[in-house]
Structure 1
Amino acid sequence: MSKSLVIVESPAKAKTINKYLGHEYIVKSSIGHIRDLITNKLKNQYKNNIKTKKNPFLKNSKKNFFIKNIGIDPHNNWKAEYYILPGKEKIISELKNIAREVDHIYLATDLDREGEAIAWHLKEVIGGDISKFSRVVFNEITQHSIEKAFKNVIDINMNQVYAQQARRFMDRIVGYMISPLLWKKISKGLSAGRVQSVAVRIIAERENIIKNFISEEYWKVYVSFLFKDKHKIIMDITHFNNKKFYPKNKNEVNLAIDKIKQSSFFIKKLEKKIIYEEPPVPFITSTLQQSSSLSLGFSVKKTMFLAQKLYEEGYITYIRTDSYYLSNYALKKARVYIQEQYGKNYLPKKFNIHINKKSSQKAHEAIRPSNIEIQNINSNILNADAKKLYRLIWKQFISSQMKSAKYQSINIIIQSNLFKLQKKIKIILYDGWTKIFKKNNETIFKTSMFNVGHSVLLDEIIINQKFTKPLPRFTEASLVRELEKKGIGRPSTYSFIVSKIQERGYVKIKNNKFYAEKIGEILTVRLKKSFSNLVDYNFTANMEKKLDQIAENKLIWTTLLNNFFKDFSIQLEKAKKLPEEGGMELNTMVLTSIECSYCFKKMGIKNAITGVFLSCSGYNNSELKKRCKNTIDLVLIEDDLVIENNIKEVNYKKTKLHSQSINKCEKCHMFMNSYFINEKMKLHICTNNPSCIGYKIETGNFNSPLYLTKIVECEKCHSNMTLKIGRFGKFFICINQKCKNTRKILPNGDISPPKIEPIPFPELLCTKSNAWFVLREGISGIFFAANNFPKSRETRSPFVEELAKFQHLLPKKIHYLSTAPIRDDQENKTIVCFNRKNQEYYVASKKKGKFTGWSAIFRDNKWYVLNK
């Protein structure tokens, strides 16, 4: 019997597809990309394997800078050299061996540009007779879709491959050529991204707006009236003396209250109209990310990870799409389901068709369930969060094909001789699509309650002092919405952009909101001046459109790259010049009057990827031995004034009445960021630092964070520990250079307890090697790891019965874990788990590798079962 090879990206996808194909197909996974342009990791791998492999970097020394360091040559028609990714050699060898034995090879990678590129790379690497290769694409992993795809095989779409390469090459040029400049001019460890830098700009500019916002006081006055059947309705005062009512202080409010008490009110008018609320559109990538964040509290990265699992298991259609298109097959299935489950009354006369944006990928479908009959997933493979996300997708799709909801809108206008009040209410007449979400509860209002001309009884007067607020900080979801609105990025890149700017340390997330780090603000300002196109919204959006044109065979990819590289090179050469010659401005140290405690030279304000700190000016000594390396990390006061469980930011409650008392820079009159040096000294630094050298020093006794006043002793060598601020937050590090022990600072401001020393468990053997386990402690609590790590990377959670058996080995800190229930009520074994949010241990049971839902927690020296 003849055989065919089918290659997909992921093992999970391979497993699902394998269920629908016959024995004549061999389904294998490439596990993502198999090769890429040269990287530092690849360079090191080749250099370390000179004896066994050819080393292109030592033998081909005549290659120009671009090929040797970037892997592409802009001066030679964008010639590229690709290299096998580390760890993929075995996979490629297996695929080649199978390819030689089969009659045909089907490349079934994803249907976006990245999937098309992976298919092309596979074809290039496997080689052989090109007539053996066919491309198959499907929007969902179902029997119907796969059978249809294999009946309609196509060739690799090289235009999509060129579009992917153009994006990759531009990103490579920007990242590799700007980074050395940023290291020299601003700070080590910096890099720029063609799209990521624009996202940082969006956050940094919002940060600037918030910091310079001055709140204005205003008041809201509401009046509660009693209607028939003792129903109360609270109404908003809109006019006073025929002018809009907008009291700005308490005196105006008190005057209004006196007048209200003396007034008689009656129903002046009822404005009625019928309104329809149209059903929602089905999810695309960006709206799924936003809805998942708002409804389920999932991050963009988590949403995409769970959605990918749902797609690979065959539950939903492809997840990277910006098209609202739905196939006739799906629409017909939805209509049948709605009529059977909810009745013909909920079914519109024809399909609800939603219009796409001009730039959308019209061939792709929106995100929808593969099988509409499955309302809730019953699977041991997927976790509870994946099931919640599926339910959200299912509801959105079904509701998108139902009738509009119908309401009666009533605008009630109440008046006296001086005041006019309004209240809008909606009375549900027909629930329509909202039945899926159960949004509409039965209203208590009836139109018979409101008779025009009738007087109404005053119940109470409600006043509320308010302050105008700045624009809100971006969340992950709202940042994705902003990127989409500006036409920056595409469905496949949103998650990567949001994650990358956090990883690089240019922004941070606190209380689910983005804050721009100082280095991110400086980087944005420098890039705007020296590389205006790189962070320009319109330029970036137009570049996305041009990449789409390449994919549609309307633009030659090398033409786009040539034009981009020409302009970029001119800007780069100019940026390299001295600042006085028009080059990029330096991230200079701003000297202060604070003396170094070691060498008594002046300390200066420095900005780096690790934060804002004071550095001794003696570090610049030309003689290495005489350099002073003393630094003082500064703690941004705003970080520690954020009220827990509250969105209000204390630092931004600035009103015009007391704006004069706020720190303003004496040199440029901008607001100043405030930092703790210690419990007796604050440093106020101009927002425009380092371009502006303004600063102020304030002394006194301040209510500073506990960790600034506490002396921490290293538990390992008993030396003192000093506070540092790194890319991932504040921590203490031992001053003993040989020790280098660290203790991090928890979100509540406490210093984390010392980690336990590794405890050997030679009686517990690993299953994947001849090693034995060692009990270690990490950021996710205690765990067993192979004693010969990293040679063997086997790890697992400890069973409670193992800790109970060897409880004499456990330190006092975790001894209580050995007293936890060894089995649940169904005789399933329990394991130790750790809640990173609450920083506490609990135990849970598993059956056949899956959590059962049973758990227990330690409280008041006892173990309590939470779920049975």
Structure 2
Amino acid sequence: AAKAYILKTFGKEFYPSKPNVFGAKANAQDAHEAIRPTMLELPPKVVASYLSSDELKLYTLIWNRFLASQMAPQKSETVSIHFHVDEYTLKASGNRVLFKGFTEVYEDAKKEDDHILPALEEGQAIMPISMDGIQHFTQPPSRYSEAGLIKVLEEQGIGRPSTYAATIDTILKRNYVERKDKQFIPTDLGFAVVEFLTTHFEKFINTKFTASMEEDLDHIAQGTNFYEAVIHSFYDSFEKELYTAESAEKIELEAEKSGILCEKCGHDMVYKLGPYGKYLACSNFPDCRNIKSITVSTGVTCPKCKSHEILERKSKRGRVFYGCEGYPSCDFTMWDKPIDKTCPVCGSLMAEKVYKNGNKKEFCSNPDCETRPKRKPRTKKEDKE
């Protein structure tokens, strides 16, 4: 079906000489089939009027990805252009697309940092439109996002797709990391735990051991190995290291000063780590038991009670949200960061979304505002289901 559709719609050059066949990843358990469209004759634009906005986005993603997976590869060439300006030579490097291939359908496959150069001829005079002087500094590796961390787990053969969500949930709940701007930032507790484990359990706290254990579990499931032998081999060495670790010196995390004085006794307030993240506590404990939650003001007045500010808060799972300072008397909350502007159409509070590339997008926080994309109403059949 895919071959016939590609040949009819795009032409024979868009179909590979041999059908594309993809092998399973090393850590895939093959418990689930891939999601495929049942009728390629129903492209997204044909069924758009029958689906809600979210349904259409999901169907488009599945339809495009499947079709692209059966198409010919993109062909491109790496090009370097040298511009001669007086005694100076400027160089630009990038790609020139010779044949679009599967990117004719799956536009998301193009990388954001691809530099597509126009077709030029040798000796052609180029008139600069503008000139910008940009200074670059060497940047450290970026912190892991959830998607980036899962990608590394896959590459290292750690865990299974069914365990990734639970793993991330665990490191958040135990306060080993904090989530900020969709990135994971290790806490002092996280650093201390890693230092202790790598010191006393070096053999087990490494990616090779974890991947090896995953293989052993697969062999047990397939009946090619016995769990007794695997457990016995593991505990022989683990028991010795566990005994050594139990007698190790306890790690005391140094309290971090906040620069804030306790309003009850005048001593320094320090940062403490609780079940729901950091909070402020008096350093004069137990004589003074004053504690305070850590709040970050947005400088935006609550649109519901109009008497308190909206503060940045954290949920039990570490996700940042924004709520009224007057809680519980005012229960206003929102997920997106509020800004001190009102919607010109409905007068509601405006919000801001910041993307990975630093770009910002302002939008109305009112989901019913006519400036927001409308979701198609559910049918009676959908409601029954």
TM-score by length of 1: 0.33
Report the residue type matching 2:148 in the other structure: S
Q: For residues 576 and 836 of structure 1, do their structure 2 counterparts lie closer, same or farther at Cα, with a shift above 3 Å needed?
A: farther
2:3 to 335, 340, 351: 335
The equivalent residue for 1:348 is 16
The equivalent residue for 1:403 is 72
Q: For residues 476 and 382 of structure 1, do their structure 2 counterparts lie closer, same or farther at Cα, with a shift above 3 Å needed?
A: farther
Q: For residues 594 and 411 of structure 1, do their structure 2 counterparts lie closer, same or farther at Cα, with a shift above 3 Å needed?
A: closer
8 Å contact kept, 2:143–2:183? yes
Residue 614 in 1 paired to residue 274 in 2? no
8 Å contact kept, 2:52–2:376? no
Q: For residues 567 and 601 of structure 1, do their structure 2 counterparts lie closer, same or farther at Cα, with a shift above 3 Å needed?
A: farther
**Cα distance in 2 for residues equivalent to 1:336 and 1:381:** 25
Write out per-residue CA displacement over residues 369-396 of structure 1, whole angstroms, 9 at most, x where no aligned residue.
3444443395999853243223212212
8 Å contact kept, 1:406–1:428? yes
The equivalent residue for 1:134 is none
What is the root-mean-square deviation in Å for CA atoms of aligned residues?
4.7
**Cα distance in 1 for residues equivalent to 2:281 and 2:239:** 35
The equivalent residue for 1:475 is 145
Residue 548 in 1 paired to residue 122 in 2? no
Residue 385 in 1 paired to residue 51 in 2? no
Write out per-residue CA displacement over residues 109-140 of structure 1, whole angstroms, 9 at most, x where no aligned residue.
xxxxxxxxxxxxxxxxxxxxxxxxxxxxxxxx
1:585 to 251, 258, 283: 251
8 Å contact kept, 1:596–1:603? yes
The equivalent residue for 1:466 is 136
Secondary structure of residue in 1 paired with 2:136 = strand
The equivalent residue for 1:562 is 232
Report the residue type matching 2:325 in the other structure: I
Q: For residues 725 and 335 of structure 1, do their structure 2 counterparts lie closer, same or farther at Cα, with a shift above 3 Å needed?
A: closer
Residue 451 in 1 paired to residue 122 in 2? yes
Write out per-residue CA displacement over residues 447-506 of structure 1, whole angstroms, 9 at most, x where no aligned residue.
5xx234x66666654311333322112222111111112221112222332344334443
Superposed displacement of residue 437, structure 1: 3.1
> Greater CA radius of gyration, 1 or 2?
1
8 Å contact kept, 1:380–1:850? no
The equivalent residue for 1:751 is 325
**Cα distance in 2 for residues equivalent to 1:460 and 1:778:** 48
**Cα distance in 1 for residues equivalent to 2:83 and 2:237:** 64
Residue 629 in 1 paired to residue 268 in 2? no
Superposed displacement of residue 516, structure 1: 2.8
Secondary structure of residue in 1 paired with 2:7 = helix
Write out per-residue CA displacement over residues 312-362 of structure 1, whole angstroms, 9 at most, x where no aligned residue.
xxxxxxxxxxxxxxxxxxxxx322222233232322222123344444446
Q: Which runs of 5+ in 2 are unaligned?
A: 111-115, 306-310, 336-345, 354-363, 370-374
Secondary structure of residue in 2 paired with 1:424 = strand
8 Å contact kept, 1:530–1:583? no
Report the residue type matching 2:212 in the other structure: N
**Cα distance in 1 for residues equivalent to 2:74 and 2:261:** 70
The equivalent residue for 2:196 is 526
Superposed displacement of residue 366, structure 1: 4.5
The equivalent residue for 2:90 is 421
**Cα distance in 2 for residues equivalent to 1:845 and 1:358:** 41
8 Å contact kept, 1:591–1:604? yes
**Cα distance in 1 for residues equivalent to 2:257 and 2:127:** 68
Write out per-residue CA displacement over residues 660-699 of structure 1, whole angstroms, 9 at most, x where no aligned residue.
xxxxxxxxxxxxxxxxxxxxxxxxxxxxxxxxxxxxxxxx
Q: For residues 380 and 522 of structure 1, do their structure 2 counterparts lie closer, same or farther at Cα, with a shift above 3 Å needed?
A: farther
Secondary structure of residue in 1 paired with 2:132 = strand
**Cα distance in 2 for residues equivalent to 1:517 and 1:470:** 18
TM-score by length of 2: 0.67
Secondary structure of residue in 2 paired with 1:514 = strand
**Cα distance in 2 for residues equivalent to 1:451 and 1:494:** 52
**Cα distance in 1 for residues equivalent to 2:117 and 2:198:** 56
The equivalent residue for 1:489 is 159
Report the residue type matching 1:369 in the other structure: P
8 Å contact kept, 2:192–2:251? no
Report the residue type matching 1:495 in the other structure: A
**Cα distance in 1 for residues equivalent to 2:122 and 2:266:** 83
Residue 430 in 1 paired to residue 99 in 2? yes
Write out per-residue CA displacement over residues 414-472 of structure 1, whole angstroms, 9 at most, x where no aligned residue.
346743322235444432222213689xx99445xx234x6666665431133332211
The equivalent residue for 1:60 is none
Q: For residues 558 and 500 of structure 1, do their structure 2 counterparts lie closer, same or farther at Cα, with a shift above 3 Å needed?
A: same
The equivalent residue for 1:279 is none
**Cα distance in 2 for residues equivalent to 1:593 and 1:336:** 70
Superposed displacement of residue 564, structure 1: 3.3
The equivalent residue for 1:575 is 245
Report the residue type matching 1:476 in the other structure: E
Q: For residues 574 and 584 of structure 1, do their structure 2 counterparts lie closer, same or farther at Cα, with a shift above 3 Å needed?
A: farther
Superposed displacement of residue 545, structure 1: 1.9
Q: For residues 755 and 383 of structure 1, do their structure 2 counterparts lie closer, same or farther at Cα, with a shift above 3 Å needed?
A: farther
8 Å contact kept, 1:518–1:612? no
**Cα distance in 1 for residues equivalent to 2:32 and 2:197:** 36
**Cα distance in 2 for residues equivalent to 1:382 and 1:552:** 42
2:206 to 525, 532, 536: 536
Identity of aligned residues (%): 26
**Cα distance in 1 for residues equivalent to 2:201 and 2:22:** 39
Q: For residues 706 and 359 of structure 1, do their structure 2 counterparts lie closer, same or farther at Cα, with a shift above 3 Å needed?
A: closer
**Cα distance in 1 for residues equivalent to 2:22 and 2:367:** 49
Q: For residues 334 and 456 of structure 1, do their structure 2 counterparts lie closer, same or farther at Cα, with a shift above 3 Å needed?
A: closer
8 Å contact kept, 1:412–1:422? yes
Report the residue type matching 2:281 in the other structure: L
Write out per-residue CA displacement over residues 774-799 of structure 1, whole angstroms, 9 at most, x where no aligned residue.
xxx68589xxxxxxxxxxxxxxxxxx
Report the residue type matching 1:399 in the other structure: A
**Cα distance in 1 for residues equivalent to 2:255 and 2:221:** 47
**Cα distance in 1 for residues equivalent to 2:97 and 2:211:** 42
Secondary structure of residue in 1 paired with 2:91 = strand
8 Å contact kept, 1:346–1:432? yes
Q: Which runs of 5+ in 1 are unaligned?
A: 1-332, 620-626, 641-704, 716-722, 731-744, 757-776, 782-819, 821-834, 853-868
Secondary structure of residue in 1 paired with 2:105 = helix
**Cα distance in 2 for residues equivalent to 1:444 and 1:603:** 57
**Cα distance in 2 for residues equivalent to 1:433 and 1:419:** 40
8 Å contact kept, 1:633–1:725? no
**Cα distance in 2 for residues equivalent to 1:399 and 1:406:** 14
**Cα distance in 2 for residues equivalent to 1:593 and 1:840:** 38
8 Å contact kept, 2:169–2:317? no
Superposed displacement of residue 565, structure 1: 4.1
